[in-house]
Amino acid sequence: MMGAVVLLGTQDTGRVRMREIEVGIRIDAHEGLWFFGTEEINDLLRHGGRVLAIEPGGAIMRRIGEDAGNVQLTLSGFALKVKIDVPEHRGQDGRTD
């Protein structure tokens, strides 16, 4: 899942982009655990990103049935929002990536 990109400002190395990435886990009785967002965050950290904040996301619910108009849901995971800044690097021609 791709997060939003918001322009924050400038630094000596160029412009800084703030990314908001949803990260979490899904739980399925048949497929087991499935993590999402962690690879994207780790990649950004390897390229100079810095975590600015971790905020609540929400519960991931799955509909398992309906009885007399009442919807039955089960908790199947959760998500958090990670805000991370990523400096844009300047190439030899002066352009930003």
In a domain, 78, yes or no: yes
In a domain, 57, yes or no: yes
In a domain, 92, yes or no: no
| Residue 14: predicted pLDDT | 52
In a domain, 71, yes or no: yes
DSSP bridge partners of 90: 96
DSSP bridge partners of 79: 24, 58
Domain count, the chain: 1
Amino acid (one-letter) located at 38: T
In a domain, 68, yes or no: yes
- Expressed as residue numbers, the domain containing 15 is 4-87
In a domain, 96, yes or no: no
How many angstroms from the chain centroid is the CA of residue 16? 17
* pLDDT tens, residue by residue, 56-76: 999 999 998 888 889 999 999
| Residue 87: predicted pLDDT | 77
Contacts of 52 (CB under 8 A, 6+ apart): 18, 83, 84, 85
DSSP bridge partners of 22: 81
Whole-number average pLDDT of the chain:
80
In a domain, 94, yes or no: no
DSSP bridge partners of 60: 77
